Amino acid sequence: MKKFAKFISCIALVSLSGSAFARPNTGSALDAVLANTDAQLASAMTGAMEPSLDIARPEPVTVCAAAAHNIRLQDITDKHTSQGEVVASFPAIYKMIHSEENSRIIKVFRFTDRKGAERLVEVYYTGGDWMQYGLTYIVTNAGPDKDQVNAYFVSELSTSDREEGAVAPAVNPFDAQKLPEFIASDFLDASGNVNAAFSSVAAVTSAGK
């Protein structure tokens, strides 16, 4: 009887020991912690590799290339702007252009001609309050004479209705893409001179400006 009691006691101890060391679901909890840690590490590594959206990126420079002429225009309007207005590089010539009550230079470009000389192109827009569309001139020192600045009336960038300004121009002078494309491919020739189809309406020497 005593042996049988001891045998029962041993079975009970083994059973209790098994219960103490089994700890069901411990493995599942540990797996969950490890999985969560791995996910956090992966997220941190991914974030480190991706560029931050808060990093300031330089503003792209507007450049237009005419495939046929290889003329490249760089928009430098900001560099010629003071207190919200574009300052003319050749102010004297604007006194020789017929202007309405609203007049301003809307764009300034630079480019290098075939001979390696740097040239400037100023786009001048003028119109009355009653006009829906205005008139556009291009002032530039592009050409064989480096000391001469010319102003050209550009009909393609202007309304054909000089009285009322009710007709839209063929090319919108305020279009940031079409304007430089027109200048590079139509207004200028392959050498970087003004196309012979355009006639000067005023001229000054660059020394006098």
- Per-residue pLDDT for the chain (209 aa), expressed as one digit of tens each? 444 444 444 444 434 344 433 444 444 544 554 455 454 544 444 443 333 333 233 344 455 544 456 789 999 999 999 999 999 999 999 999 999 999 999 999 999 999 999 999 999 999 999 999 999 999 999 998 878 999 999 999 999 999 999 999 999 999 999 999 999 999 999 999 999 999 999 999 976 66
- Decide: residue 57, CB within 10 A, 0-12 exposed, 13-18 middle, 19+ buried: exposed
Q: Are residues 130 and 190 in the same domain?
A: yes
User: At 157, is the secondary structure helix, strand, or coil?
Assistant: helix
The count of structural domains within the chain is: 2
Residue 147 lies in a domain: yes
* Residue type at position 40: Q
Same domain, 94 and 194: yes
Predicted local distance difference test score (pLDDT) of residue 208? 62
19 and 76 within one domain = no
Whether residue 118 is found in the same domain as residue 36: no
Exposure of 39 in the CB half-sphere (CA atoms within 13 A): 6
Angle at 144 between CA 178 and CA 91, to 5 degrees: 65
Domain-located, residue 54: no
Question: Does residue 57 fall inside a structural domain?
Answer: no
Residues 190 and 126 in one domain: yes
Do 39 and 97 have their domain in common? no
Q: What is the pLDDT of residue 207?
A: 65
| Residue 56 covered by a domain | no
Residues 70 and 43 in one domain: no
123 lies in the same domain as 198: yes
Please list, residue by residue across 103-127, b when 16 or more beta carbons sit within 10 angstroms of its beta carbon and e when fewer do. Answer: bebebbbebebeeeeebbbbbbbbb
In a domain, 8, yes or no: yes
Same-domain check for residues 177 and 113: yes
**Long-range contacts, 57-62 (Cβ 8 Å, 24+):** 62/176, 62/180
| Domain interval for residue 17 | 2-49
Q: Would residue 58 count as lying in a domain? A: no
- pLDDT score at 206: 78
**pLDDT at residue number 64:** 52
